[in-house]
Chains A and B, each alone.
Chain A
Amino acid sequence: MKTAKTFQPSRRLILKAGAAGMLASAMPSFVGAQGAPIRIGFQLHRTGIGASYGRWYERTAQAALKLINEGGGINGRPVEILFEDDATDPKRGSEVVEKLTVQAGCDVVMGTLFSHVVIGSAPRAGELKVPYLVCSEGYHVASGMLNRWTMQPGITDVRSQISAMAPWVGANLGKKVTMIFPDFAFGHDHRDFFTKAMAAQGGEVIAQIAIPPTETSFTRYFPQIPADTEVLYHVMVGPAVLTFVKELGEFYGSGAKPQIFGFIDSLEAVDTATPGLEFLEGTHFWEGHNRVTPADAGEHEAAYRAAVGVDDMGASVSDAKDVSTYSHMFSTWETLFAIKAGMEAAGYTGPADRQKFVEAMEAMADLPYGMERPQGAKRFNGKTHQVFGTQNISQVQGGKLIRVHQTSMEDGAYEDAVDYTAMAF
């Protein structure tokens, strides 16, 4: 579960973006493809605490859709996306799956970021026997908690991310770690998997500070950080992330401080040059997809940024202060291209082929780097319905996030916990 904050949209820009979005959804693009369109439903955090992610998810998905339609659509048919707000609420999420599938007749439904919405919606998708492709980063798909119709082909889950990074943290930053995380499932995944991974490295988590989810002020928790902490590991979500990071800076002030390693979720959509964040200079972050274009970026990076409308700093091209949710939003792009690949492999013609589509997805394995996967090459595990990719560790240098390490796909591997292919449809 996650949220993020803080960029500075201009009002004019938002109105423009809104108008463009309405036009786009009202008039599906028919460029370069013929026949009845393939309809993809999209559960979107348009309101509620996930709204700041939803905006960028919509924008990225629109960009990918345009590209797909320009390239001839799927199986020669045009593609359209129907966005529907889930209010970042599991009950409404489930209703939206219903609406998109039954009323709007969508072929597949794309799921969203917050894991409680995904978990609340998955049962209905399974009952309706509609493929449900989620972009939530949670460990709930690969853990076997959901069903055969739910897949996560666009983003690595949090367990894999953590397993891949922990060795680097232990080897480069320190062995005694204090963790600060939100006191709910997403934070508990971090707590459990990181603690285990550190122990495997001969390191130790010496304190775990769980922050209640209703908290809006954090300073009082910081004294619980033991003095012999070598690395402070932080991950925070929700509208208060910027407050959290600022208060951490105030707390350490100009005094001595440990190495700091954060999940970018603590700072997603936040400008690293925001006043009050100077203390982050020299600290490290995990990034799913590097916000600042790395010097050795792949050949498709520039085209992807141009298509979504993001500059080399990860901000909107029309407003440098409007920082994107860059580390997560690629997942909607890659999921759309995964749908295209799956449908083409299955020879998908309509809802009757939904099962064939799932089977075709399950048969996928190596997914090479390309315009379809701007974040990097991936490997899809058909049994666990989860994709695995590479992770990045960046350091704040001169107020910018500069990549200093990239993990390999193997670093994030773990044993399968489920074989969905053995389950009935």
Chain B
Amino acid sequence: MTAARIWALHLALIAALFAAQYLLPPYHVTNLARIMVLAVFAMGYNLAFGYTGLLSLGHALFFAAGMYGGGLLSYHLGWTALPALIAGLAAGGMMAGAVGLLALRTTGVSFMIVTLMFAQAGYLTILYFGPTTGGDEGLNLPAAGRSLLGFSLSADGPRYLVALGLFSTALLCCLGIARSRLGRIMVAMRENEERSRMLGYNPFTVKLIALVLSGLFSGLAGAAYGVLFGYVGASFATIQYSILPMLYVLLGGAGTVIGPFLGALLMFYLIDFASGLTSAYLFFVGAALVTLVLFAPKGILGTIRERWLGWLP
């Protein structure tokens, strides 16, 4: 029963997003394409933070690893979008694995700071290799790098479909993971690490797997953002882009499958809407965050799940 309801909900979301490209004005269609890619990033963050309890402040590094892993190959070697996306996916996963091997020796606030510092070193490395990476200015990807199986991703239609395809894949993977045995172990690690260990699970291994999965999602999102919107730049490696997915996840609901998408959607439109009303829009964004955390501390879906829909994954 529950399983059917859960799959129906998620497939309905995908169907709604498919229909949205025909129903919404073009401005919002492109925004949705951006939001879906950012949501993939946030879902990746959610796997580490929401499910496994790893509060990282360095996910910009994984996003940037994917963005540059795909982007540089297409810029310098003329790779097309599909191999670039795969390269970005791999780069994100490998970077997360490397960081995890070291950073997972720490916990709590030390883990936050260590991941933050790795990300900062990554950002500076991009600047240091400016002749290759375009440094702070970044690079515009060539047309070849933005073609996927013959379709140009600079056109709005194919771009939206690719974004939707990646988002749907990520969403269903995320749902699958959340409902799998692995997902249960990840949650166990978040809830009670010592008990999990005494059930035979190696905390280090589980967390490393979660972080690598998270890195794969983040890397894919980074590569997709570069390929779909044509720009690769160091600003995506700054701490701001480590905080963004955390905000999306906390806003939408940590440890929920749809929460990251909801958070990205709301945050995007909160900024877009407020900046149209006033030049002091950051104030309202800040106030909204404080209000939210006071009155819905588990995020929107987290609160809904707690109050009404216990079956939400």
Residues of A within 8 A of B (CB): 1, 18, 21-22, 46-47, 84-85, 89-91, 94-95, 98-99, 102-103, 115-116, 119-120, 122-124, 126-127, 138, 140, 145-147, 183-186, 188, 212-214
- Contact assessment for A185 and B231 in the assembled complex, using a CB-CB cutoff below 8 Å: no
Q: Specify which of B34, B130, B137, B229 lies most central, judged by the most chain A CB atoms within 10 Å of its CB.
A: B137
Is the C-beta of B78 less than 8 angstroms from some C-beta in chain A? no
Is the C-beta of B275 less than 8 angstroms from some C-beta in chain A? yes
- CB A198 to nearest CB in B, in angstroms, measures 21
- Contact assessment for B154 and A123 in the assembled complex, using a CB-CB cutoff below 8 Å: yes
Q: Which of B23-31, B170-178, B208-216, B246-254 lies on the face that meets chain A? A: B23-31
Residues of B within 8 A of A103 (CB): 25, 27
Residues of B within 8 A of A89 (CB): 235, 240
- CB B261 to nearest CB in A, in angstroms, measures 18
A-B residue pair count with CB separations less than 8 angstroms: 95
- Contact assessment for A123 and B275 in the assembled complex, using a CB-CB cutoff below 8 Å: no
- The listed residue (B134, B137, B141) touching A138 by CB distance below 8 A is B137
Provide the bound-state CA to CA distance between A276 and B225, in Å.
46
B:154-170 near A, CB below 8 Å: 154-156
- CB A28 to nearest CB in B, in angstroms, measures 16
Residues of B within 8 A of A (CB): 25-27, 30-31, 34, 124, 127-128, 130, 134-141, 154-156, 229-231, 233-236, 240, 272, 275-276, 279, 281-282
Contacts A94-B229, A102-B27 hold; do A120 and B235 have CB atoms under 8 A apart? yes
Contacts A94-B231, A102-B27 hold; do A47 and B282 have CB atoms under 8 A apart? yes
- Contact assessment for B140 and A123 in the assembled complex, using a CB-CB cutoff below 8 Å: yes
- Contact assessment for A115 and B31 in the assembled complex, using a CB-CB cutoff below 8 Å: no
- Contact assessment for A90 and B27 in the assembled complex, using a CB-CB cutoff below 8 Å: no
- The listed residue (B137, B281, B282) touching A1 by CB distance below 8 A is B137
Contacts A46-B279, A124-B230, A213-B127 hold; do A184 and B27 have CB atoms under 8 A apart? no
- Contact assessment for B130 and A184 in the assembled complex, using a CB-CB cutoff below 8 Å: yes
Q: In this complex, what residue of A is CB-closest to B275?
A: A85
Residues of A within 8 A of B240 (CB): 89
CB-based closest 6 A-B pairs: A123-B230, A185-B137, A184-B136, A103-B27, A102-B27, A120-B231
Provide the bound-state CA to CA distance between A138 and B156, in Å.
29
- The listed residue (B130, B138, B154) touching A119 by CB distance below 8 A is B138
Q: In this complex, what residue of B is CB-closest to A124?
A: B229
